[in-house]
Structure 1
Amino acid sequence: MKINLKNFCALEGSHINLKKFPTTVAPVYKSKKDYKRMLEDHVAQLSALQQLHYASNRYALLLIFQALDAAGKDGAIRHVMSGINPQGCQVFSFKHPTPTELEHDFLWRTTRDLPERGRIGIFNRSYYEEVLIVRVHPEILRSEGLPDALLDEKEVWQGRYRSIVDMERHLHRNGTRIIKFFLHLSKDEQRKRFLARIDEPDKNWKFSLADIEERKFWSRYTTAFEECISATSTADSPWYVVPADDKENARLIVSQIVLDTFEGLKMAYPEVSDERRHELLAIRKRLAK
């Protein structure tokens, strides 16, 4: 079953109102068995395309996952990319910047981890934290060591949006394709998942008091995500607002988006020259004796 992805893509120049984007939609799978079959099919296709991507060595692919706590970023990455060769894929998680990172511009620490051509890079949180959590908690901005003239909150976010868009356009011009996922979770579903983390011993490690404290800022985070997505979703590097209340559905949507992006690259295995073909045939004859 082909998933219609247009409903999840934030169009360039549009003003995003997350209330108009559902956190749950009709499942694209018919049953748990059907979900497993569809995911296995997607994973097998991704594995084959990743091998072609690695061999063609023309593009880099960067996947960015942003969401509120318990939206399923880790699970989506783990399940969707389960068939990918680890040699061709790297996952980076970005938390609070280190003192060294704070001595540089806000894009520096993530730029170091951008994928090479032929590789897939996955950012579990990213430079977008600098216009999300930092916007919700402006005291973080004031602790970043910036000159006072750069701390005007009426201008700093628009400036950072421009920096992000300019960088992503630069990367696109140089062969990096960027897909950005916002896993859109409802507040009630987050509450249920937090309760599960408390009630199930093997999930206790996932829970912290800070998670509950951040729920107090739900409306602020909503505004920050809306303005961020509105300002930085472009035709070349789009944001996808993925309904995340159903984890299985979200994984199928994410994997289909990655598949479609790969297929749009028109990749091909490197052509073998006549000279190389003759060399290979000569080697084959020697091995066959």
Structure 2
Amino acid sequence: MEKDSRIYVAGHTGMVGSALVRKLKQEGFKNLIFRTSSELDLTEQQAVKNFFEEERPDYVFLAAAKVGGIMANNTYRGQFLYENLMIQNNVIHQSYVYGVKKLLFLASSCIYPKMAPQPIKEEYLLTGKLEPTNEPYAIAKIAGLKMCENYNRQYGRDFISVMPTNLYGPNDNYDPETAHVLPALLGKFHEAKEQNKPSVEVWGTGAPKREFLHVDDLAEACLHLMQTYSGNVSVNIGTGEDISIKDLADLIKKTTSYSGEISWDTTKPDGTPRKLLDVALIHSLGWKHSISLKEGIRTVYGERFL
């Protein structure tokens, strides 16, 4: 990408999109194109076509999506499937129609089979059943990366896709009804400390293990791949390190200086037992994360709550 390239960041107000914007500006890219959801509804085909005809971007980062945690995924199943399919179809297709030089599509590590061998290699995609609670979202994301792959094959495009692990960072969602586990726990423990609550209830057994990546590391990885990688393999982006939910809760308890107890509601679902990405490919492509989980949580907590 050239410094004066016209770069469209779809979903620029979200956690991932805003991180991409910060990184692009930091690296000297100034010709950035944005639209808020109120200005451009990406689920509307004609609106997206009109936008591409008017703006003619050279490069596209497709970070716009309907996202949420276990509860949101399991509750708004039809909405997650429909909205994500429509957003992807419209942006990827119009990128082809209007000659976008390169597109990067943000998929998700939840697209892998629930019982995939660990750590999860890119080749394990579509080798087993999905986690039922987020199946609609996962199916939409699989369709998006396959759309990129097959537009490359049929039309000779340069559309790449990446599969980030669990993300956290600035502009995360802290709504207890829809947040992912790390921001949800940060909010719970902070509230409990402020209100002197004797205990904090956490869903599940605490046994599942998860990998977490700071969104600024993801943005750096995406820009690196946009500038150096072309291919039909959707690249894992993660740390290659995981932590149990119990240990995560303990780390957040310590970070927030909460002195009460942790109670586990074992009637609630754990979700996938373990989800650790194999990051050998992206390491071989010249990128590795730099923000540790302990450092990242401390920074995010200070920025959001203190």
TM class by shorter-chain length?
Answer: 0.3 to 0.5
Relative to the length of structure 2, the TM-score reads 0.31
Relative to the length of structure 1, the TM-score reads 0.33
Question: Who wins on radius of gyration, i.e. which is larger?
Answer: 1
* Higher helix content, 1 or 2: 1
